[in-house]
């Protein structure tokens, strides 16, 4: 067996590689729609994460929306200038900043959310409702098991 086929077999059966490939392929399809609606992928990720109206701590928002620290700060500043999000101080811990979507931001992202749900339905349709829900349940559980709080991440770096 050649080294190449061994590597291909490994990647073809390695969960992180499979998740990354599936995510990249499916996300790229929808990101074309996002860009056609005049929004960047980062803006979409942040606004869609906040779309339920709940304020999130900046670090949690960055983690969920896959946005790195300095990039998240710049992005949130731009979104705040455009009145799409609002930054607030956390009443229980002044060191934390909360971010909440504004009515304008919600209006901007709501149509894209409907289009995202349509896209998701097309992606999952070949698997049937039961398998699609099972896949989503497993992915939520994987995320829950591997979620790292800021304190956990800081401890891991020490």
* 3-state SS assignment for residue 56: strand
Domain presence at residue 14: no
Mean local confidence (pLDDT), 71-90: 94
Domain presence at residue 152: yes
Domain presence at residue 15: no
Domain presence at residue 5: no
pLDDT at 69 over 90: no
* 3-state SS assignment for residue 88: strand
Report how many domains make up the chain. 1
Q: Looking at residue 100, what DSSP letter applies?
A: E
Domain presence at residue 148: yes
> Do residues 34 and 112 make contact, with C-beta atoms less than 8 angstroms apart?
yes
pLDDT at 149 over 90: no
Q: Looking at residue 114, what DSSP letter applies?
A: H
47-66, pLDDT tens digit by residue?
A: 999 999 999 999 899 999 99
Q: Are strands 85-89 and 97-101 parallel, antiparallel or unpaired?
A: antiparallel
Length of the chain (residues) = 158
The pLDDT, as a whole number, for residue 8 is: 64
Integer angstrom CA distances of residue 118 from 32, 65, 136: 14, 20, 16
Domain presence at residue 81: yes
Cα 57 to Cα 70: distance, rounded to the nearest angstrom: 15
- Mean model confidence pLDDT for the chain: 89
11-53, pLDDT tens digit by residue?
A: 889 999 999 999 999 999 999 999 999 999 999 999 999 999 9
Domain presence at residue 23: no
* Residue 82: band (very low, low, confident or very high) from pLDDT cuts 50, 70, 90: very high
Domain presence at residue 19: no
Cα 80 to Cα 95: distance, rounded to the nearest angstrom: 19
- For residue 32, the tally of other CB atoms under 10 A from its CB is 9
What is the CATH classification number for the domain harbouring 128?
Answer: 1.10.10.10
> Do residues 64 and 22 make contact, with C-beta atoms less than 8 angstroms apart?
no
* Residue 137: band (very low, low, confident or very high) from pLDDT cuts 50, 70, 90: very high
Residue 107 CA, distance from chain mean position: 19
Q: Which domain holds residue 136?
A: 39-157
């Amino acid at each position: 067996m050649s080294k190449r086929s061994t590597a291909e077999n490994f990647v073809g059966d390695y969960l992180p590689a499979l998740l990354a490939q599936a995510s990249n392929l499916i996300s790229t399809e929808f990101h074309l729609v996002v860009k056609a609606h005049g929004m960047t992928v980062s803006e979409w990720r942040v606004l869609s994460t906040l779309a339920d109206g709940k304020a999130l701590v900046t670090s949690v928002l960055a983690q969920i929306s896959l946005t790195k620290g300095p990039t998240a700060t710049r992005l949130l500043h731009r979104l705040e200038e455009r009145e799409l999000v609002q930054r607030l101080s956390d009443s229980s811990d002044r060191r934390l900043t909360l971010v909440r979507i504004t009515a304008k931001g919600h209006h901007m992202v709501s149509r894209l959310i409907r289009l995202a749900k349509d896209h998701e339905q097309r992606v999952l349709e070949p698997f049937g409702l039961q398998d699609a829900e099972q896949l989503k349940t497993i992915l939520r559980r994987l995320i829950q098991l591997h979620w790292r709080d800021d304190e956990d991440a800081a401890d891991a770096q020490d």
